[in-house]
Structure 1
Amino acid sequence: MGALSHIKVLDFTHLLAGPLATQMMGDMGADIIKIERPGEGDLYRRLPPFLNTRINGESPHFLAWNRNKRSLAVDLKAPEARSILLDMAKTIDVVVENFRPGVMERLGLGYDDFAGVNPGIIFCSSSGYGETGPIADRPGQDLLLQGVSGFLSMTGTKGERPTPLGISLADQLCSYHIVYAVLAAVIHRMNTGRGQYIEVDMLRSCLAHQGQELLYTMTLGADFERPASGIGHPGMPAPFGVYKTADGWITISMNPIVRLADVLGLPELAHSDDNTLWTDRDRIHALIEERTIAAPTAEWIKALLGAGLWAGEVNSLGDVVELPQARHLNAFSSYEHPVAGTVHVVNVPVTLSETPGEITRPAPRVGEHSREILRGFGHSDEVIQAWIEAGVIGELEETVPAQTASCAQA
């Protein structure tokens, strides 16, 4: 049984930041009831296909972030929806939403509405820039936050276009802040019986993960400048960076320059002091790369690691899925989806000896569990059918046998 198996969550989230957060809770056993609009569902079901590809018509976006959830399709604008959801809230522990600020309140489903029927409820609002403030109404999409938060200014090479991160990191940092805030509130409620309102935003989540860089900027009044060499971190001296080899790329991190100079066969580097490693880092980067490009990655990794130096390969995702260490850690899994078939996924990324996380449900289809969920809250089939006929509740039209998710290694 998962560590959060006693927690029931109403999930009003969509796209990535909120759904990943609730998926993590679901991985640990929480009962996640995903609220979706009838027919259309989560926007991620309908966005342009990831890499222009769908899996038997299903969106990889949605499949990646919505396992271990049940789907209840509700028209939130229908007058009956509010009473249905607030009635459910009497036995709900957590509500998570990531609409733009004010949307839930206008629907009559804000924190005060939920707390009015359940004072112990924990209500988490997640947004791009916070619930109030001069840019709170802006769209909170990952690329936009990478720019506003300063992430983009730290990547790429001097004088060239800043390079966005290849993953939606701003979204996912926000996800982790949602989870730790909710868990902190759950512990507080266990001790006091009191619920509370939580605000999480992508902007502060990104700022929190630039702690050392922003401390430097604020304390010393100096900004960072990206080096021309594209060294991996604008605040680090040589040899920290990415280097071309004869057949790929390697990373070289912080290392004793004398030992590195010996392995590379660059005696002129051996006497570089800390100031030189900083002021001449572009020249030193070029000098090191003249050596690394002469041999393949595997040779350099063997030589550098053999000398006790910090270095690593630059793997493609195709390399990563075959990485022996990832396989050893059971980092990948799969589940069976009734439409998409076998979906290979990243497994629960932490190991708990007593309450391990697991994948027990595939990502749901829109309204797949509407009747099941509402029956569980005491509503009769006649009442549920009336709501379905009125368009208040949506259900899955196609009947497909329920599938059991698999945690077998992919």
Structure 2
Amino acid sequence: MTGPLSGVTVLDFSRVLAAPLATQVLAELGATVIKVERPGSGDETRGFEPRLPHGESAYFFAFNRGKKSVTLDLKDPRGQALARKLAEHADVFVENFLPGTLDRLGLGYADLAAGNPGLVYVSATGFGQTGPDRDRKGYDTVFQALSGVMAMTGEPDGPPSKTGIPVADLTSGLWVVIAVLSGLAGRAASGRGRHLDVSMMDVQLSLHALNAARLFALGEDPVRTGTEHPGRVPSAAFQAGDGAWLHISGSDQHWGPLCTVLGLDDLAADPALRGNSGRVEQRARVMKALRGAIAQHDRDPLVKELRAADVPVGAVRSVREALADPHAVARGVVGEFTHPSEGTFPALRTPLRETAGEAPVPGVPPLLGADTDDVLAELGLAAAEIDDLRTDGVIR
């Protein structure tokens, strides 16, 4: 089935995780994505662990499916000229170099827009195109630290903790997708492209919407609360009697049914606890009672009983358990692709589908430079010219 972005050509000059995730999403939604890599080594994640039996990187596989790979030495004027020529035929240009780097190579927005006024140019950098930190390099866990995410992750009596996923990279990648799509929509209306600035630091700060609301309204700087919600009780993970964990997140309408299932008649009868504000005020009392009651039950039967009572609850699963869940299986969350050297390999599908169709099929991650000759030939280069570029190391 043709994807909704069929006919859109994306030049991907990005590396590592955030922006490559974005261009992978675009590829699996139907865009033609041409990933431009360094000759010989390519995207550095090609060497990241975990490695597969024939040397390919599962890390690279996770964020580079469905793309074409072209090698160009951007330090060589001929490589720069070819990159500009590619941009003349592209709809979108995505890059994550430090600000000013591509300008010095003649590949900045002003240079490329002169030859292609409709180009949507997205710069995804650590700290954005402006500001005192614009030249600072960015790393996921450093963003978690600087943004306040790390300070409020973990148990109240424990040290700061990173999140279980690279949240700064992943959320920034999704904002790169938003930037591309908004740029294309704007071009459809105005006929012109634009330069869009995605700052990973800005993205992390934007995730504090609720935390900032408490800060702005109460002057309260959020702190670590473990799995508990600062403004709602109950909303936390609890350990059952068999040692397994479950998470409950209830509102006022769930309080009575929760107490009934757990046999907490005294709490249910207390009018001060029927509203969330009262439960927040008496958080210690409520949580102690809930922990004690839940510890008298095995997890899975209790989860089943709470779900039957319409109480929002979920077992705390491992990644393996979550991906093997019957609902995830029925939705086809895990697909697969066949790689030319590593064979069949599982992949998480891009989680967007039409109601009348299936989720996008996982694309195949490209071998380094696999499409260089074909792409350059489409630009009009003769075979002898391509051979000369290879001999000189401009491509490989």
Verify the 8 A CA contact 1:277 1:284 in the aligned structure 2: yes
Verify the 8 A CA contact 2:352 2:360 in the aligned structure 1: no
Q: Aligned residue for 2:125?
A: 127
Relative to structure 1, the CA distance from residue 179 to residue 356 in structure 2 (aligned partners, 3 Å threshold; closer, same or farther) is farther
Of 223, 226, 230, the residue aligned with 2:224 is 226
SS at match of 1:371: helix
Relative to structure 1, the CA distance from residue 131 to residue 355 in structure 2 (aligned partners, 3 Å threshold; closer, same or farther) is farther
Q: Percent identity?
A: 34
Relative to structure 1, the CA distance from residue 280 to residue 155 in structure 2 (aligned partners, 3 Å threshold; closer, same or farther) is farther
Q: Aligned residue for 2:74?
A: 76
Residue correspondence of structure 1 range 297-308 to structure 2 within 5 A: 297-308=299-310
Of 318, 321, 345, the residue aligned with 1:319 is 321
Q: Aligned residue for 1:408?
A: none
Q: Aligned residue for 2:235?
A: 240
Relative to structure 1, the CA distance from residue 232 to residue 374 in structure 2 (aligned partners, 3 Å threshold; closer, same or farther) is farther
Relative to structure 1, the CA distance from residue 318 to residue 357 in structure 2 (aligned partners, 3 Å threshold; closer, same or farther) is closer
SS at match of 1:33: strand
AA of the residue aligned to 2:381: H
Q: Note the aligned Cα RMSD (angstroms).
A: 1.7
SS at match of 2:75: coil
TM-score by length of 1: 0.90
> How many angstroms does 1:139 deviate by?
2.3
Verify the 8 A CA contact 2:127 2:133 in the aligned structure 1: yes
Cα separation, 2, equivalents of 1:251 and 1:347 = 26
Relative to structure 1, the CA distance from residue 200 to residue 356 in structure 2 (aligned partners, 3 Å threshold; closer, same or farther) is farther
Verify the 8 A CA contact 2:245 2:316 in the aligned structure 1: yes
Q: Aligned residue for 2:41?
A: 40
Verify the 8 A CA contact 1:28 1:356 in the aligned structure 2: no
Cα separation, 1, equivalents of 2:20 and 2:367 = 14
Cα separation, 2, equivalents of 1:381 and 1:269 = 80
Residue correspondence of structure 1 range 264-303 to structure 2 within 5 A: 264-270=262-268, 271=270, 272-273=272-273, 274-303=276-305
Give the paired residue count.
388
Q: Aligned residue for 1:6?
A: 7
> How many angstroms does 1:262 deviate by?
1.6
> 1:149 and 2:144 equivalent?
no
More divergent stretch after superposition (284-293 vs 109-118): 284-293
AA of the residue aligned to 2:228: G
Residue correspondence of structure 1 range 11-410 to structure 2 within 5 A: 11-47=12-48, 49-50=49-50, 53-227=51-225, 230-233=226-229, 235-245=230-240, 246-255=242-251, 256-270=254-268, 271=270, 272-273=272-273, 274-353=276-355, 358-359=360-361, 361-394=363-396
Cα separation, 1, equivalents of 2:238 and 2:53 = 36
Verify the 8 A CA contact 1:35 1:72 in the aligned structure 2: yes
> How many angstroms does 1:276 deviate by?
4.0
TM-score by length of 2: 0.93
Relative to structure 1, the CA distance from residue 354 to residue 91 in structure 2 (aligned partners, 3 Å threshold; closer, same or farther) is farther
SS at match of 2:12: strand
- Gaps (5+ residues) in structure 1? 395-410
Relative to structure 1, the CA distance from residue 78 to residue 283 in structure 2 (aligned partners, 3 Å threshold; closer, same or farther) is farther
More divergent stretch after superposition (359-368 vs 2-11): 359-368
Cα separation, 2, equivalents of 1:236 and 1:252 = 14
Cα separation, 1, equivalents of 2:384 and 2:17 = 35
Verify the 8 A CA contact 1:19 1:65 in the aligned structure 2: yes
Runs (4+) of structure 1 moved beyond 6 Å? none
Cα separation, 2, equivalents of 1:145 and 1:55 = 33
